Amino acid sequence: MDLQDMTVIEESKAGDEVEMLMFALDRARAQFTWKCGGLDVDALSKRLPPSTMTLGGLLKHVALCEDLRIAEYLTGDPMPEPWKQENFEADPEWDWHSAADDTPEELYTLWRASVERSRAAWARVLATGGLDQPSIFTTETGDHPNLRRVLVDAVEHYIRHTGHADLLRENIDGLVGEDPPQPKP
């Protein structure tokens, strides 16, 4: 993965709510990228027993969640490849398990593409209004979570899985730390 994926850009120390939450999401993505980046197939498949979780599985799962968020909450766009319903009908945790069949480049490309689609979708949706607008998702009670809730959930999802990635990566090569090294200005 290239350094651009790991650059933490702080546009403002006193930005508005949208800017701060999007910064939190991009910072969490950068941390996740750092923990998962630059590894070969063996490292991406390494487990820390008793868990069966791998960094490859995390990459594919997080890519799925980026695309699901777009489809279910933001735009209603159809799910892109490789998210075929029949894969999940055969194995509800297909995203986690099938990562072992993918090359590192396939996993990194899949994740990067999902992040780019997500950034574009968020930009389009937020251009039509702020975080108070309802998402397109309808709960069983007929409610529509607002975009603030959806964005906070996205940040929380990355933070949780970055914690998993942190432990897995330390087990692989000892890499520890909170933020990736940043390019010199």
User: In the structure, what pLDDT confidence band is assigned to residue 4 with cuts at 50, 70 and 90?
Assistant: low
Average pLDDT (158-169) is 97
With a cut of 90, say whether residue 70 has pLDDT above it. yes
Looking at domain 3-173, its CATH class is: mainly alpha
Average pLDDT (104-114) is 96
Q: What angle do CA 164, 97, 41 make, to 5 degrees?
A: 75
Average pLDDT (83-98) is 93
Rounded to the nearest 5°, which phi and psi values hold at 2? -90, 165
Using CA atoms, how far apart are residues 153 and 68, in angstroms rounded to an integer? Answer: 13
pTM above 0.85, yes or no: yes
pLDDT of residue 183: 75
- The residues, ordered by sequence, that sit 6+ positions from 124 with a Cβ below 8 Å of its Cβ are 75
Please name the residue that has the structure tokens 């990194």. 108
With a cut of 50, say whether residue 93 has pLDDT above it. yes
Q: Could you tell me the residue ranges of all domains in the chain?
A: 3-173
Alpha carbon separation from 66 to 26, 63, 75, 165, 175 (Å, rounded) = 12, 5, 12, 17, 26
Output the average pLDDT for the chain: 92
Q: What is the largest CA-CA distance in the chain?
A: 51
Average pLDDT (63-81) is 96
Output DSSP code: residue 6: G
With a cut of 80, say whether residue 11 has pLDDT above it. no
pLDDT (tens digit, 9 = 90+) per residue, 18-66? 999 999 999 999 999 999 999 999 999 999 999 999 999 999 999 999 9
